[in-house]
Structure 1
Amino acid sequence: MITGGQSYVSAPPAFSADGRFLLVCSGRSVSVFSTSTGMLVSELEGHEGDVTAVVVVPPQSSAAAAAKLATHCWTAGLDGFLIYWDFATAELVRKVKVDAPVHSMVIPNISKKLKLTEVYAPFAFVSVEALSNKAIQDKAKGKPVAKKKELWGQLRIYDLWKGCQVGSELAQTRKPEKIVVSCSGEFLGIANKRHLYIWSIPTKDFNHDNIRKIKLGHTKKLSTLAFHPSERIVAGGDATGRILIWRGFGKAKFSGTHGAKSQVDEERDGVRGKDDAGTCTTWHWHSSGVNFLKFSSDGAYLLSGGMEGVIVVWQLDTGKRRYKPRLGSPLLFFVDSPDSSISCVSCTNNQVHLLNMPNMEVLKTVAGIKLPIASADLSRRDVCGFDSTNGLVAIPTQDYCIQFYNLFENTEVSEVQVCERNFQPVDDITLYISLVSLSIGGNLMCTVEVKLPEEELGGLVTLKFWNQGSRAGQFHLSTVIYEPHSDAGISAVAFHPGKNMAVSSSFGGNFKVWVQSLSLQSSDGKSQSGWRCQSVGSYKKKPMTAAAFSGDGSVLAVAAESVITLWDPDNNALVGVIAEALSPITKLSFAGDSAYLMSLSQSSKPQVAVWNVSNLSMEWSYTLFAEAACCSSSKSEFAVLSLLSCPEGGAPAEQDGIILIFDAENSKPVSSWSVKKAKGGSIAFLKDGPSFDASTDGTRGGEASLLVYVNGSHEYVIFDPLKNEEPQISKSTRKNIQADEPAPIGYASIYGELPKLELKKEVSDIPFIPSDRPWETIFTGSSHALPPLTKLCSVFLASLLEKRPVTDE
């Protein structure tokens, strides 16, 4: 099996101590990228659950210890383990068991006295998901536990040397909260509802009993916080876009002197009640919730980001601001490297941008598969398109693009801009891509975009045809057709398997057959292709809900609601009608080159049926709540992705879907596979890729097909659907993992590389050429390269003699 499509933005990434590597949480592993090239260097695999935190070991005061631990990190996951890694060699060093899913982790730079010597002591502060004491008692007594109400978040401390918990919980919250630690490790805090909870950590000779806590309040729900690198200043962002700056926090309680409490009664601008802070200032620019806050390394600026996709840089003393706009997607996390020369920002479109500081120029981008977007048409399924020949998936994005993603290499290939329109993340959805269809060879693409009407006016449906460029995944626009079916929506688009022909079916009651033709442009003399409508068909004015070509392209099947009609696509002649299905058909597909046609109905009366086109009858059917289905292009097999429970039913199980493999001639499934996150998923048959060929034993047939399953979160798995045994699940077998270049050191790390000089440089002898004024050039050049003295004297004396022209008498 090959897996991929993991999210790169589920948790904050981390830089290595020297800034050469970026460690990114990606599903159940950690991907290590080079900051200079943006390429994948290695992967850390060892967790059985999603990785939620990665922390690079803090730099040590001792040079020997710093060099030894420069490539070590800790990771935490939902499997309840903390793992210690040497990420330079991708070696798992140690595991610490927590016995609860870990959602966040920080490791302050703490020291502890050992034989009168201060030594580095790794203590992890983790936010875990655990049952409350009442829920534990109810569970022990056999009483039912209401998980939604009784799941609590706990803040715990773990001694990573001893592998055990230290003391009792620091706090209990309604749900696990993200922990933020200051640069010095002296303070850590969480945002919980309308309060910031801040703890003072004794970094010297650490003792759990000496930890102290304060609480700062607000009128709105707080979403994030950040600590100043050198002063007692903390910033908090709320759900309405406001940013609060508390200065001088913890002077009363953290100082250890009770006399300081008298300052509470003094006038403190903006501080609520008895909060332990000097002043509180409020800034407001964001129109919605603040997702991250980060102070600059010198503490002069505060950076913020949220739904607008804009990094706002605030001057801390004056409140003035400047912006880094047009990052294309809402922002989630901001992390800077230890030397602050490079930073990264994580976006909701599964991209991590590496920024050159302080001008915030985008240097490299780590791009994963685009995550699902909220579509305005919730009834649409199978929006993704598949290029089975090249192993690509085409995914509509929120910014009106089509992302082509290589499923075998787990990398982005390209992005095609479908609609030239500025995208604003905070705006309402007014335009979306409703359909993407690719030809079998992947050289043609068709997209359908829908502009929603405003106050019942201005709606528009656009059909666009695209031709492939110089390589797979590159397309250029060929033809644009506005309102191809008047004002009706398009239900399906399918390409002919053997020639440049396509069909589009419409809810308005007709379908159109399109053909590609060549037209000579007189302006530049170049031959360009264009698409035109060849014929129009309908059946009793019923909505046309699905369409498909047969394997050889001789038959066109179009679903008129629950009736399947068969047409000759070249002559636009109706050749047959098949009996009705139980409910309107949403998908049609021929099983390879056979005479069997698979239909899928996804209404309240679901049905998966197989029809024999030769005798116009139904072979067999099942009542299944199917989410997607696909047919092999070379064999009579097809696959159905079915939900285990009714969509209107209760909570889905962990394995909430099943993939059934059928041979069209037999109603008994050939094989079945249980899958997760089936809601919103897609399936498709692919041809064998190079990475899968390397892992097979040569027993597969030449025309064997693989099946790809893309779940509702766009994670995917590629497998052989006909193998009965459960193979080892592994990450994408990418062979193009590149080794990182050695980092510059010393002078080169600060000022860059010096130009290389040739130590031996050949110098040619200066030639002796008589001249009218040779004294102007005799002594030019380097002294060591002058001609011999004997030559110089004769030349110099000769130059003084007066030369007269010779005339014939």
Structure 2
Amino acid sequence: MVASGLRQPHQIPLPHSPASHPNPKSAAMSRKGKGKAKEPTVAAPKRRVQVPSTEPSSGPSWDWTSLTDSLVSNVAPIFTKDGSYFFSLVGSSVRIYAVTTGKIVSTLSIPRPTGYDASSDTLTCAVLNPHNAFQLITGSLAGVLAVWDFLEATLLQIVDIAQPIHHICVHENFKDSVFVTASRPGKKAVVDDNAIVLRVSLKPADAASQSTVQKSSEITPIGKIRLPTGLAFSPGGAWLVAVAGHKAYVASTASFKSGFTKYVSPERLTCLAFHPTEDYFATGDEKGNIRLWYCLNEQLPVKPVGVEKKTQTTTLHWHAHAVSSIAFTSNGAYLLSGGEESVLVIWQLHTGKREFLPRIGSPIKTISVSKVASGEEEYLLGLADSTYIFVGAASLKISRSYSRIKLDPATNAPSTSKHPPTPLSVHSLTSTLILPSSHPASLQIYSPLSSTLVSELEVSPSNRVSRRDDKPIEPSRVDRATISPSGDWMATIDTREGDEDTHGESYLKIWRWDRKTGFWILNTRIDRPHGLEKVLHVAFSPATEGQPVLLVTTGKDRNIKTFRIQTAKNKSAASEEFWVARSTLSLQNECPSYISWSPDASLLAVTLPNRVALFNPSTNLLRHSVAFPEFGPIDAAYFIGKGRYLAVVGPLNLALWDLVDQRVRWHYKSSTPIRSLVSHPRDDTFAIVCSSSNEERPKSRVALFSVGSAQPTKSLSLPFGFRNIAWYPFVASSSFSLVGVTHDWKVVVLGENIHLAKEEGAVSRELASHAAPQRRTLFQDIFGKSAFGEQTNATQPSAVPASASSSRPWTGREGAGAFDDPAYLLPPLEKLFEPLMSGFLKLRVVEPSAPPLAVAENEDVDMDSQGHTTVTGADRKRMLAEGEIEALVGLFRKQTLKAKAPVIVGTTPRRNGLVNGQTNGTSSRPHPKPHGTPAPSKAVVSSPAAASTPSTPVVNGKKRKKSLG
């Protein structure tokens, strides 16, 4: 496969394009002048370009799906009344999570009304109906209020108010009404003074009562405000408060016509929370201050329109950045706050003291408070990287956390570069993805097959946030992560830009996969592998027999460095492997940008600005050089399939070089810039990603090629651009499957015949038949969990047909699910006692003994009528061990078989009755009898009740004649 010689592509005649049809007249005209006597040795670029004249060939359609959620909602999760589930808004859907397991048990998808843009149906608010705890009311930017019965997963009502909804609040004093903040019609959302508070009746208008999308019978405006950040009722329902901009808007519910009274804040307000029992509220602002407002007991002006007032407030300050969320505990004694510092602050209101739960892992977006069945409170924190964390109120420790792919666009996008390198790699041993995490100095390991986050790897420890007034500190960032084809090694490059105060840092870290523990362990760290210059590319050599694994890096210092594994013995005489530098190579002061290994590791293709150099990696000798003058700069070169072809990529050009024939097979020119190329690991096919340079609305196109033609076989247009893309083996066939990180930090999967396992709860379904595991009840705490039998499988319906239940034997577990329902749905305990006892305990039925049957003479009697016993599934509870059976056999032989038959006084023992005897009845010979004893005329069958009659063993299954005495 090694190519030799130094012929350049422009010295080799190219084949005619099969898709082009040159005109003979134009060909003759091209021979006029100086060149008419010679055949051209260099074909014009148009002859090499095969512009597809038709659409790509039909075949299995390409599809794509996103593995990440939409941006994290700023709406705090809402708990059900019993605390078993909580609701989270994700895009246009409501996800219902089980508190105990963190799994999604149901997803409520809001239908899009006719005439609305699909991009504007994002849910912005949700609240439980105060008059029905099983109904959820949501609002969206499409101006739609939706009422759900979440137990049955049924959409009950859709009310359209034709204005984008931002916040919603309800109170039990106002039945069938909700209060919302909405953007005014005809105003743009970017304008600050464009919102209004409305009272919307959920009763439909008479004209639209039968339609799917209904109109409200009454919409009453309360007052105009700026773009709101919070809306809430006081505990007693006497006050309605909204915060927007630098003001708090207060309205008395007794007189909505009076409008709002405005109270001024020195800083812009970001969040709002009401005390659960008293009439005062708390706000957070963008400077990190928390204020307690005591203005609800004052006498409001008669005409407060346009009046701005100041009131008494109490200030709590610790946060250096904006306060994202605040919440009171259920008893009102503590106030919780969180923000960008990734620290939960617990304020004790009557003393002003505070406690901290630091190093949460990501900025805190939302805070919710819930009570568990035991009465202890739990705090649910929603983080910026889509992680939910539960914190125990008593211990102030993280009890459990639930997360998926953790990506935070605010922290991953550096301030110095518009197109930063994004690490993305696939671990073949575990089929997991190596992705950037919520912090740029960490990596996360995610499994697409199970939709779970496996672990997180902190490559470079660093501070999470900086001080507010100082210049932001640029953190260390993981630029590249490359895994060897064998899956045993991973190389990462983490850098930190220097400034006038600090020096820049660059580290090459090589990690080894521990198969026993399933973690990456740092093996070797190399400081500044290319000096003060940046590392451009890292690549491992393929795993081949007889050849060691090599690691090659290129940098802006114009050097190509090779590293190898060295083995040494430590103090305990055990062998250790670590990486050392092997060689350094430079090429005529040209800067190498990309490295590609051939599948058999016999060639190393180094991409230079104007050519591609092929090296023998064992000797570092240059074997061949390929140049493309018409390309301009060359971005990268890739080995295709089994290694015969080399795809050379420029900004708008793609050429396929045949290493064996030493010629260009075909040339393709793209109308949009080519960003990357992904080769199929087994077949001679590859895909290119072309995207436009429009950063506001990035779009891309993925085209699939084979080595035989310059016309793409398949093409897929995507509404996003890629930061990085890689091959992922979702299927074992020849189909293409790719995974990539988009410009808006989403992870998407695209290709042919991709079948990802649907996550449980991805569709709407009833919670009654798919209930989450419940906490231990009071009866289980007293008597143990086994007292009521095994719990019903949550995946099976709880309702059983009557015919099926009547045919099953009674097991004593029929009342096991009596306490599965929430406590507020159960009747009083004194009314449950009798039904439960009758369900748990079964009365013993005493059957009257049947009178003995009169048996006629010489009638056949079946002595085995009671020999068979039906064993039900409920009686077969324990498997007998082999020793127990042997002990029973020995006992039976000792006590039964070898026992002597009882002897009647005055008679001689007989030898009948033995199981192994010759006769199993009366003796064939008469025995001598005592003098004076009358001899019976026939044998008599003795009754067990007769103590004077000896018992005669009978073998089951035998029949004999019964004679009368």
Output the TM-score relative to the length of structure 1: 0.75
Tell me if 1:37 matches 2:76: no
| 1:231 maps to which of 278, 289, 306 | 278
- Determine if contact 1:300/1:316 at 8 Å carries over to the other structure: yes
Q: Could you list the runs of 5+ residues in structure 1 that have no partner in the other structure?
A: 113-120, 136-145, 203-207, 262-271, 690-700, 760-809
Structure 1 CA distance, aligned partners of 2:414 and 2:124? 30
| Cα distance change on mapping 1:376 and 1:220 into 2, 3 Å | closer
Residue pairs, 1:46-445, within 5 angstroms: 46-47=110-111, 51-53=122-124, 55-58=126-129, 60=131, 66=133, 69=134, 72-102=135-165, 104-111=166-173, 121-129=175-183, 131-132=185-186, 152-162=194-204, 163-165=214-216, 166-172=218-224, 175=227, 177-183=229-235, 186-201=238-253, 212-249=259-296, 251-253=298-300, 275=309, 277=311, 279-337=312-370, 341-371=377-407, 372=409, 373-375=412-414, 378-387=417-426, 389=428, 390-397=430-437, 398=439, 400-424=441-465, 428-445=473-490
Tell me if 1:9 matches 2:72: yes
Structure showing greater radius of gyration is: 2
| Cα distance change on mapping 1:556 and 1:321 into 2, 3 Å | same
Structure 1 CA distance, aligned partners of 2:704 and 2:402? 36
Q: Deviations over 1:273-293 (max 9, x none)?
A: 95274x122232211211112
| 1:609 maps to which of 649, 654, 660 | 654
Give, in angstroms, the shift of residue 538 of structure 1.
Answer: 1.9
Task: Tell me which residue corresponds to 1:590.
Answer: 639
Task: Specify the code of the residue in structure 2 equivalent to 1:57.
Answer: L
Tell me if 1:711 matches 2:711: no
Task: Specify the code of the residue in structure 2 equivalent to 1:164.
Answer: K
Structure 2 CA distance, aligned partners of 1:5 and 1:667? 34
| Cα distance change on mapping 1:613 and 1:319 into 2, 3 Å | farther
| Cα distance change on mapping 1:280 and 1:657 into 2, 3 Å | same
Structure 2 CA distance, aligned partners of 1:182 and 1:624? 58
Structure 2 CA distance, aligned partners of 1:179 and 1:683? 43
- Determine if contact 1:242/1:290 at 8 Å carries over to the other structure: yes
| Cα distance change on mapping 1:736 and 1:305 into 2, 3 Å | closer
Q: Deviations over 1:119-171 (max 9, x none)?
A: xx343333445642xx6xxxxxxxxxx88559944444433342434324445
Structure 2 CA distance, aligned partners of 1:240 and 1:234? 18
SS of 1:687's equivalent in the other structure is coil
| Cα distance change on mapping 1:82 and 1:367 into 2, 3 Å | same
Give, in angstroms, the shift of residue 362 of structure 1.
Answer: 1.0
Task: Tell me which residue corresponds to 2:706.
Answer: 663
Tell me if 1:493 matches 2:538: yes
Structure 1 CA distance, aligned partners of 2:182 and 2:756? 27
- Determine if contact 2:649/2:655 at 8 Å carries over to the other structure: no
Structure 2 CA distance, aligned partners of 1:685 and 1:423? 32
Size of the alignment, in residue pairs? Answer: 680
Q: Deviations over 1:8-59 (max 9, x none)?
A: 7323222122111122223343332222222333333345556434535245
Give, in angstroms, the shift of residue 79 of structure 1.
Answer: 4.6
SS of 1:485's equivalent in the other structure is coil
Q: Deviations over 1:673-697 (max 9, x none)?
A: 333342x5433332125xxxxxxxx
- Determine if contact 1:82/1:97 at 8 Å carries over to the other structure: yes
Task: Tell me which residue corresponds to 1:20.
Answer: 84
Structure 2 CA distance, aligned partners of 1:147 and 1:664? 51
Q: Which has the higher contact order (CA 8 A, sep 6+)?
A: 2
Tell me if 1:673 matches 2:708: no
Task: Specify the code of the residue in structure 1 equivalent to 2:180.
Answer: V
Task: Specify the code of the residue in structure 1 equivalent to 2:177.
Answer: F
Task: Tell me which residue corresponds to 2:826.
Answer: none
Give, in angstroms, the shift of residue 506 of structure 1.
Answer: 0.8
| Cα distance change on mapping 1:393 and 1:190 into 2, 3 Å | farther
| Cα distance change on mapping 1:414 and 1:577 into 2, 3 Å | same
Structure 1 CA distance, aligned partners of 2:290 and 2:319? 9
Structure 1 CA distance, aligned partners of 2:380 and 2:606? 50
SS of 2:413's equivalent in the other structure is coil
- Determine if contact 2:284/2:322 at 8 Å carries over to the other structure: yes
Structure 1 CA distance, aligned partners of 2:67 and 2:324? 27
Structure 2 CA distance, aligned partners of 1:572 and 1:324? 55
Structure 2 CA distance, aligned partners of 1:111 and 1:462? 63
Structure 1 CA distance, aligned partners of 2:667 and 2:294? 76
| Cα distance change on mapping 1:576 and 1:88 into 2, 3 Å | farther
Task: Tell me which residue corresponds to 1:539.
Answer: 587
Structure 2 CA distance, aligned partners of 1:183 and 1:377? 49
Q: Deviations over 1:762-807 (max 9, x none)?
A: xxxxxxxxxxxxxxxxxxxxxxxxxxxxxxxxxxxxxxxxxxxxxx
- Determine if contact 1:504/1:512 at 8 Å carries over to the other structure: yes
Alignment RMSD (CA, Å):
3.6
Give, in angstroms, the shift of residue 377 of structure 1.
Answer: 5.2
Give, in angstroms, the shift of residue 246 of structure 1.
Answer: 1.4
- Determine if contact 1:306/1:332 at 8 Å carries over to the other structure: yes
| 2:774 maps to which of 742, 748, 759 | 742
Structure 2 CA distance, aligned partners of 1:86 and 1:391? 39
- Determine if contact 1:15/1:338 at 8 Å carries over to the other structure: no
Give, in angstroms, the shift of residue 610 of structure 1.
Answer: 3.0
Structure 1 CA distance, aligned partners of 2:370 and 2:540? 49
- Determine if contact 2:440/2:478 at 8 Å carries over to the other structure: no
| Cα distance change on mapping 1:544 and 1:334 into 2, 3 Å | same
Residue pairs, 1:547-566, within 5 angstroms: 547-566=595-614
Structure 2 CA distance, aligned partners of 1:409 and 1:548? 32
Q: Deviations over 1:567-587 (max 9, x none)?
A: 122221212222257565554
Structure 2 CA distance, aligned partners of 1:706 and 1:588? 21
- Determine if contact 1:2/1:408 at 8 Å carries over to the other structure: no
| Cα distance change on mapping 1:173 and 1:246 into 2, 3 Å | closer
SS of 1:249's equivalent in the other structure is coil
Give, in angstroms, the shift of residue 324 of structure 1.
Answer: 1.6
Structure 2 CA distance, aligned partners of 1:551 and 1:100? 59
Structure 2 CA distance, aligned partners of 1:286 and 1:130? 34
Task: Specify the code of the residue in structure 2 equivalent to 1:402.
Answer: L
- Determine if contact 1:628/1:681 at 8 Å carries over to the other structure: no
Structure 2 CA distance, aligned partners of 1:569 and 1:375? 36
Tell me if 1:530 matches 2:578: yes
Q: Deviations over 1:480-535 (max 9, x none)?
A: 11111222210111222324322211111011222334x24333444333222333
| Cα distance change on mapping 1:437 and 1:316 into 2, 3 Å | same
- Determine if contact 1:442/1:472 at 8 Å carries over to the other structure: no
| Cα distance change on mapping 1:622 and 1:249 into 2, 3 Å | same
Give, in angstroms, the shift of residue 457 of structure 1.
Answer: 4.6
Structure 2 CA distance, aligned partners of 1:399 and 1:346? 20
| Cα distance change on mapping 1:82 and 1:486 into 2, 3 Å | same
Q: Could you list the runs of 5+ residues in structure 2 that have no partner in the other structure?
A: 1-63, 112-117, 205-213, 763-769, 789-965
